[in-house]
Structure 1
Amino acid sequence: MSNLKQDLLLCSLYRFYSDKNHAITFLTILKKKSKVSLRLLDWMATNYSKSKQVSYDVNGKCFNVYASYKSQLKGYSKGYFDPFQRKGRIQFVIQNESIETTVGQLNFFKWAIQNDVIKYALEHCKEIHADMISQTGSENGKRKLLSTNKTISQSSFPIILEF
C-alpha cells in the first residue's frame, strides 16, 4: 500500500477512533482488560466463524463473519488488516493516550466493532474458547491444529470496503 493510501486509511481510522465508545472497546481488549483476547478474536474470525458458519443481522443485513473477514483480508492484505501487531508499528493517539499499534490492527478492530464481531465474541466467549482448545489442544491457540475442517459452504451477500 502506498504512503498516500496508508495516510488516507489513517485519517479514516482517526475519525473512527475519535468516537469514545470505539476507542474504549479497542483499548480494553488491547490492554487485556476484557474477557475477549486478541487470540480469541483471531480464532473467531478465522476458524470458529468458518466451521460454525457464523452469520447474524447487522443493520438489517445478514453478516457472515468468515466471508467478510476473507473479503477484508483480500482487499487490504495481512499488513493492513490484522488483529496482532506484526508489521509497521506506529504511535497512535486515542483518547489523549499514545499507544503502540499498527494500521492493520486498527483497521481489523474498526471492522470488528462496526460489524458487532466483538459483541458476538463477548456473548459467545465460552463456546469460542472451548472450540479453540478442542481444535488446538492448547489454551492460547498457538499449537498446531489437531484436525482441520475442510468443508466448503457458499453464501451470497454484498461486501462493502470502506476507507
Structure 2
Amino acid sequence: MNALITFYKKPGNINRMLEVIRGHSRVSLRLLDFFAANYSKAHNITLTVKDGEENDKASTTQLVVHSSYKSQLRAYSKRNFDPFCRGNHIAFEYADDELLTTTVGQLNFFRWIISNPILEYVEANVDPIEAEMKQTEDAQLRKKRTEELSLSASRSICKNNDVKMLVTFDLPSS
C-alpha cells in the first residue's frame, strides 16, 4: 500500500486517474478493460517505455501490453488488479482532506496504465478501440440471440404427449 501512496502523491498521477473515473475523459473504464484484455491481444500492441527520467540519456524497453496485463493479473489476481471499483472499498487519502472511495485493485490497475504509456495510447486511439468494442459486443449479442432462438424452439416441443403410430414396411418379395 505504501508504494501506491507514494505513486499517487506524485504530481499528476491521481489527476489522471480521477479524470477517467469521474467521467471527465473520453476514455471509460469499460474501454480500458476492453483494451487491456482484448484489443491489445488482437492487435499485438507493443509500446515503447522510457526507463529513465532524462529524455536524452533514457534507455527504452518494449512493453507488449497484453503480456504485461496477464503478468499483472497473475501477480495481483483479478480482485487486486481491476479497473472497476469491485471488491472491498477503501478511503484513499490522496491530498490533505481529499478522499477517494476506491479499491486496491483499481489503484493498482491505474498505476500500471499511468506508469506505462497505456493511457496515452488509449486516449490517442479512442475511436478505433471503441468501434472494435462495439463490433465485438454486437457479435456476442447476435450469437446469444441465435442460441436463445434455438433453445426456445426446442422448448416448444411438447414431449409428454403419447402419439399412436403405425409403421409398415413393404418388403420386396423374393
For this structure pair, what is the TM-score category when the shorter chain's length is used for normalisation?
0.7 to 0.9
Work out the percentage of aligned pairs sharing the same amino acid. Answer: 39
TM-score of the superposition, structure 2-length normalised?
0.73
Structure ranking higher on relative contact order (CA contacts 8 Å, 6+ apart): 1
Separation of aligned partners in 2, 1:95 and 1:144? 43
Establish whether residue 78 from structure 1 lines up as the match of residue 78 from structure 2: yes
Separation of aligned partners in 1, 2:142 and 2:87? 25
Distance change (3 Å), C-alpha of 1:93 and 1:145: farther
Distance change (3 Å), C-alpha of 1:95 and 1:48: same
How far does residue 95 in structure 1 lie from its aligned partner after superposition? 3.0
Establish whether residue 48 from structure 1 lines up as the match of residue 49 from structure 2: no
TM-score of the superposition, structure 1-length normalised?
0.78
Q: Kindly provide the CA deviation profile for residues 22-61 of structure 1, in whole angstroms up to 9, marking residues without a partner as x.
A: 0110111111100101000000000000101101211111
How far does residue 145 in structure 1 lie from its aligned partner after superposition? 8.5
1:39 partner amino acid: R
- Among 20, 23, 32, the alignment partner of 1:29 is 20
> Are the counterparts in 1 of residues 47 and 117 from structure 2 also a CA contact under 8 Å?
no
Establish whether residue 14 from structure 1 lines up as the match of residue 5 from structure 2: yes
Separation of aligned partners in 2, 1:70 and 1:105? 16
Structure 1: runs of 5+ lacking an equivalent: 1-9, 147-163
Separation of aligned partners in 1, 2:86 and 2:105? 8
Aligned residues: 134
2:124 partner amino acid: E
Tell me how large the CA RMSD over aligned residues is.
1.8
* Structure whose alpha-carbon radius of gyration is higher: 2
Runs of 4+ in 1 over 4 A off after TM superposition: 143-146
Structure 2: runs of 5+ lacking an equivalent: 51-59, 144-174
SS in 2 for 1:20: coil
> Are the counterparts in 1 of residues 83 and 105 from structure 2 also a CA contact under 8 Å?
yes
Q: Give the 5 Å matches for 1:1-163.
A: 10-59=1-50, 60-96=60-96, 97-137=98-138
How far does residue 144 in structure 1 lie from its aligned partner after superposition? 5.3
